[in-house]
A and B are shown apart, each in its own frame.
Chain A
Amino acid sequence: MSRPVLIDTDPGLDDALAIMLAVASPELDLRGVTSVGGNTGLQHTTENALRLLHLLDRDDVPVAAGADVPLVRRDSRPATEVHGEEGMGGVRLDPAPRGADARSAVQLMTDVIESSAEPVTLIALGPLTNVAALLAAAPRTAAKLERIVLMGGGARILGNTTPTAEFNIWFDPDAASRVFAGGVPVTMVGLDVTHSAVTTPADWDPLRGGGRMARAALGMMDFYTARHLEWSGNDRTPQHDSLAVAAAIRPDIVTTRRLHVDVECAGALTRGMTVVDLEELSGEKAETDVALQVDAAGFRDLLVGRLAELDARLGA
């Protein structure tokens, strides 16, 4: 029995693989995709989402454009050095036969949640601007969400954009702060686990010689691996966003602890840091399920296996 799912995303290489994993998984029923500015500008992330869904024969899934800039800050800059100028690492996807939905991202999320028979899981793979807007604009609708599974932040492995901040939270800390305190159950899939959920080029062998989807995925992985080699010297690429989707498919793939999480918005050096109260020092109520360990092998098999199956189904 598949669970209704919404994905808020800024495709983005690891976002693309995560969307492929979601479409490939019978456990999830993808009801809508909302785009947000982050890895690259909104017009790119929206276009990439449309083309990705077209590649996966899912032009039925509505795609609505959300916020291009953070809730408040105007000094956040995209991560084009990681994802390429238009976000797909230079991989050219065929244009989609349709444009974005007329509704705003918040409106699409509201309609999907209100019309769904059972609670929807919202998977957030980019900055949390749209999710914060949903919580603010339609609190009663947001309260109906089953859970928000977000990729962002870190408890002990603190940051990748700055020493203490992970990109998605750093890009819009005010929105993230609102989401963690929003009252909706949150699973935080942060760097503590995504840095272990890695794949090497060899892991992707099952896709080599595959169809159009496999070719696109391998193209993205080559660009991502090359960048990763440049500044970290190894070819084990962390699959940030697809781990968040995997955690929605099989929650037991990560081990979580219920902890209190604040987001630093004022610190000159620590803006965007997820302050996870591991030692329960702050006395604040613990509300967030923070992922601290991951079954890396299980995740790898799930990701590559499901993508290979989907590629076979989609054919040339």
Chain B
Amino acid sequence: MTERLILDCDPGHDDALAMILAAGDPRVELLAVTTCAGNQTLPKVTRNALAVCAVAGIDVPVAAGSVGPLVRPQIVAPEIHGESGLDGPVLPEPTLELDPRHAVDLIIDVVMAEEPGTVTLVPTGPLTNIALAMRKEPAIVDRVKRVVLMGGSYTRGNKTPTAEFNIAADPEAAQAVFSAPWPVTMVGLDLTHQATADADVVARIKGIGSPLSSFVVDVLEFFGSTYREQQGFDAGPPVHDLCCVAWLCDPQVFTTQEAFVAVELTGTWTNGMTVTDFAGLFGQPNNTDVAITLDKPRLWDMTVDAIASLSARTEGATR
């Protein structure tokens, strides 16, 4: 049975790979793509999402979402994703029309239209759209199968010593998502930093020799350069968001452990930190499955396969 998902993202190099895996792997079906300001401003990430759809032959509704966080001033990450938010490759012109609906409405419409318990939300950027959708239509909380979000960490952050970028960007929205009564999988830095796109992986993708694969190689090379420079990742950049979609393709791709997770909203040094309680010290029931250990070869095998099969499909289509 294929996993049906909505990808709420801020492309974003690793978001691009997540979109491509979602489109290329038969075990999942991409129902919609919604965008939210994060790695870059909303217009840029939305244009990047449409460009990735064009290059990957994705034909699903794409809607633009929130311009910024619920309460706090906006932050973006040009030092990692560049001015356009997807520097590196040449971005093709979009082939899809942007869906007129607000991302929040598209999420609600899809979840309410599909059978209860069949749609997974996969947010890979700040959680503003998800929090707004929950508030606007509380019924989706019971209908959504699971939320698999890329964000947070149980040891330390990257935007600040304690907070990961997506959660730090909109801590109030993140707290709303973690405290809602739906199953959540937190794919944090502890997991995604294991998912580096090393030279051998880039070589295998280059070997596919399609327009799509060379696009992915350009993405990974730029992404690798900024991560090497900014955070000292010499082997290759951690492709965070890819891991969320990979887990829906194959739950063996990483192990998880139950915990109670809450977001710190009032810290001087710890705002936006995902406080992860594995040992029940807070005495709260567990509310999150926290991703722990990655099966790296399995991740990259399915990704290369997806790029290969997608290349065959789109190349066949464009010739």
Contacts and interface: CB of A to CB of B under 8 A. Distances in A.
Direct A–B contact in complex, judged by CB atoms less than 8 Å apart: yes
Interface in B256-298: 262, 264-271, 273, 275-279, 281-282
Interface in B123-161: 155-161
Contacts of A159: 281
B274 to A, nearest CB: 10
A264 B269 contact: yes
Interface stretch (A99-107, A204-212, A278-286, A288-296): A278-286
A305 to B, nearest CB: 33
B231 interface: yes
A120 B162 CA distance: 34
Given A163-B277, A164-B275, A270 B160 contact: no
Contacts of A282: 160-161
A163 B266 contact: no
B163 to A, nearest CB: 10
Most buried by B among A159, A163, A263, A264: A163
A268 interface: yes
A277 interface: yes
Contacts of A262: 268-269
Most buried by A among B155, B266, B275, B276: B275
Interface residues of B, number: 26
Contacts, number: 78
A50 interface: no
B281 A275 contact: no
B295 to A, nearest CB: 23
A169 interface: no
Given A279-B156, A279-B231, A281-B158, A264 B268 contact: yes
Nearest to B273: A270
A144 B158 CA distance: 37
Most buried by B among A161, A266, A269: A269
Contact of B282 (A162, A266, A277): A162
A265 B268 CA distance: 7
Contacts of B278: 163
Given A156-B156, A163-B275, A278-B156, A270 B270 contact: yes
Contacts of B231: 279
A276 interface: yes
B282 A276 contact: no
Most buried by B among A159, A162, A264, A278: A264
Given A275-B161, A275-B162, A276-B161, A266 B281 contact: no
A315 interface: no
Interface string A146-159: 00000000001011
Contacts of B270: 164, 264, 267, 269-270, 273, 275
A269 B268 CA distance: 12
Nearest to B259: A163
Contacts of B157: 281
Interface of B: 155-162, 231, 262, 264-271, 273, 275-279, 281-282
Across the A-B interface, give the 6 residue pairs with the lowest CB-CB distance, nearest first: A267-B267, A270-B270, A163-B277, A275-B269, A269-B275, A277-B161
28 contacts: A156-B155, A156-B156, A160-B281, A163-B275, A163-B278, A163-B279, A163-B282, A164-B275, A262-B269, A263-B269, A264-B267, A264-B270, A267-B273, A268-B264, A268-B266, A268-B267, A269-B264, A269-B273, A269-B275, A269-B282, A270-B264, A270-B267, A270-B270, A273-B269, A273-B270, A275-B269, A276-B161, A281-B160
